[in-house]
């Protein structure tokens, strides 16, 4: 069959990487939705630095290694995954596509990847679980109404979630100036599907200079939640606990000592404390402090297969990706999200082959050197 004739002007540009998807998503989405997803807090220093930290490393390839088969499969808290890349928890996937979380969890399942579902999903955690074929963790914001958090824990267990990810960097939501300028509010048809109507109030009526999400977090997130309260969550469930947003050795030690199974080194994608250490820079101290007591993941700024390789070389067991998945979803629903994941997988395999590291156990610190510096190992 002949391809339809297309002039150079009309031929659609192929979308080859997350940046291409971002540009295409920008063209499709309402400005305030695009900005809510793309944006960071304050001067967006950390948003920028999370990404730039990857570019400060160079790769040291080894030659003449049999790379005819490269294997990125691993396990996360005991569950097999086909690749060390999962989907970060993100609120309200239906903002960008009506299929929302169902599309992203199906895309993750097809890729054999982990999905972390947000407390603020626009689809119920049970419906997400019913559509899942890969491992699922539930992200928890600890809410002031403790019985709501307790009920999320029980529902997660019943629905087959395999871990609880407690986000520890958001006792309040940072000022995100794009959202304030745009007067960000949730469109009327989108709601936090895991929560009751009390937790919906105020999300839909906004005004310039205000973000309804920030007001919502101020009313409902429990800013008094501390290390001592972790025992309360522990008492509710035997599911493994993972802390998301740990950036220091001190907190990693403390978490490991309390029996936390996993840590996600994260700046929340540059959306919380602006000027904080970029996640990739914090990774080595967290890995060293956790030792073999916790599995350590990292997120923020992962856009290429070589980024995944760099994070693994610095000791991460896996990375999570956030915005790129939403860009894929915005452009083409489930196939778009799937394409973003499969591109990252293809790039990771290529990077493993071209660095002479066909197994993840070969991806060690000697793979890296800081840009512009001599050998560090």
List, in sequence order, every residue forming a beta bridge with 59; answer none if it has no partner.
368
Residue 213 binds which entry of ligand FMN, ligand COI, none, CB below 5-8 Å type-dependent: ligand COI
Q: Which of 330, 133, 164, 311 is nearest to 234 (CA)?
A: 164
CB 161 within 8 A of CB 125: yes
Per the residue annotation, which of 97, 216, 268, 365 is the catalytic one?
268
Q: What angle do CA 90, 92, 96 make, to 5 degrees?
A: 105
Contacts to ligand FMN from residues 312-371, by CB under 6 A: 321-323
Determine if 173 is a binding residue for ligand COI (CB under 6 A).
Answer: yes
Write down the least CB distance from residue 11 to ligand FMN, Å.
Answer: 30
Q: Which of 140, 70, 105 is nearest to 312 (CA)?
A: 70
CB 304 within 8 A of CB 19: no
Residue 211 binds which entry of ligand COI, ligand FMN, none, CB below 5-8 Å type-dependent: none
Determine if 271 is a binding residue for ligand COI (CB under 6 A).
Answer: yes
Contacts to ligand FMN from residues 28-47, by CB under 6 A: 37
Q: Residue ranges of the alpha helices (H) in 93-173? A: 100-111, 125-131, 146-159
Integer Cα distance of 246 and 249 in angstroms: 9
Whether 268 is a known active-site residue: answer: yes
Integer Cα distance of 264 and 139 in angstroms: 11
213 phi, psi to nearest 5 deg: -65, -40
Out of 186, 217, 265, 314, the only residue in the binding site for ligand COI (CB under 6 A) is 217
Integer Cα distance of 243 and 25 in angstroms: 30
Residue 217 binds which entry of ligand FMN, ligand COI, none, CB below 5-8 Å type-dependent: ligand COI
Query: Which residue is at the shortest CB distance from ligand COI?
Result: 91
DSSP 8-state class, residue 197: G
Integer Cα distance of 157 and 150 in angstroms: 11
Mark 34-73 with x for binding to ligand COI (rule: CB under 6 A) and - for no binding: ----------------------------------------
Out of 117, 122, 149, 167, the only residue in the binding site for ligand FMN (CB under 6 A) is 167
Determine if 120 is a binding residue for ligand COI (CB under 6 A).
Answer: yes
Out of 89, 240, 315, 358, the only residue in the binding site for ligand FMN (CB under 6 A) is 89
Max CA pair span of the chain: 67
Active site residues: 268
What are the residues binding ligand FMN (CB under 6 A)?
37, 88-91, 118, 120, 139, 167, 244, 266, 268-269, 271, 299-302, 321-323
What are the residues binding ligand COI (CB under 6 A)?
91, 120, 170, 173, 213, 217, 268, 271
């Amino acid at each position: 069959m002949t391809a339809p004739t297309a002039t150079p002007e009309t031929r659609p540009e192929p979308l080859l990487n997350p940046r291409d998807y971002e540009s295409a998503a920008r063209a499709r989405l309402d400005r305030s939705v695009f900005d809510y997803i793309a944006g960071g807090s304050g001067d967006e220093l950390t948003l920028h630095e999370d990404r730039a930290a990857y570019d400060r490393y160079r790769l040291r390839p080894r030659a003449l290694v049999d790379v005819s088969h490269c294997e990125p499969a691993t396990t996360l808290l005991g569950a097999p995954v086909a690749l060390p890349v999962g989907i970060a928890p993100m609120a309200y996937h239906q903002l960008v596509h009506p299929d929302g979380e169902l599309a992203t969890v199906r895309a993750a399942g097809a890729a054999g990847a982990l999905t972390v579902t947000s407390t603020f999903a626009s689809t119920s955690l049970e419906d997400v679980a019913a559509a899942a074929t890969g491992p699922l963790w539930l992200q928890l914001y600890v809410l002031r109404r403790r019985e709501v958090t307790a009920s999320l824990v029980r529902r997660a267990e019943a629905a087959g979630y395999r871990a609880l990810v407690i986000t520890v960097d958001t006792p309040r939501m940072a000022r995100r100036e794009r959202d304030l300028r745009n007067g960000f509010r949730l469109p009327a048809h989108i709601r936090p599907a895991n929560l009751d109507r009390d937790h919906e109030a105020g999300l839909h009526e906004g005004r310039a200079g205000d973000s309804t999400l920030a007001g919502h977090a101020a009313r409902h997130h429990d800013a008094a939640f501390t290390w001592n309260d972790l025992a309360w969550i522990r008492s509710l469930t035997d599911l493994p606990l993972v802390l998301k947003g740990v950036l220091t050795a001190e907190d990693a030690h403390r978490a490991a000592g309390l029996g936390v199974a996993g840590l996600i080194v994260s700046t929340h994608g540059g959306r919380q404390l602006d000027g904080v250490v970029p996640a990739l820079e914090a990774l080595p101290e967290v890995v060293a402090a956790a030792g073999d007591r916790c599995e350590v993941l990292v997120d923020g700024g992962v856009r290429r297969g070589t980024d995944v390789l760099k994070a693994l070389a610095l000791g991460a067991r896996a990375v999570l990706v956030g915005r790129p998945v939403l860009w894929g979803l915005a452009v083409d629903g489930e196939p778009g999200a799937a394409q973003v994941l499969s591109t990252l997988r293809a790039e990771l395999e290529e990077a493993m082959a071209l660095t002479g590291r066909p197994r993840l156990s070969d991806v060690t610190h000697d793979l890296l050197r800081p840009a512009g510096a001599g050998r560090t190992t």
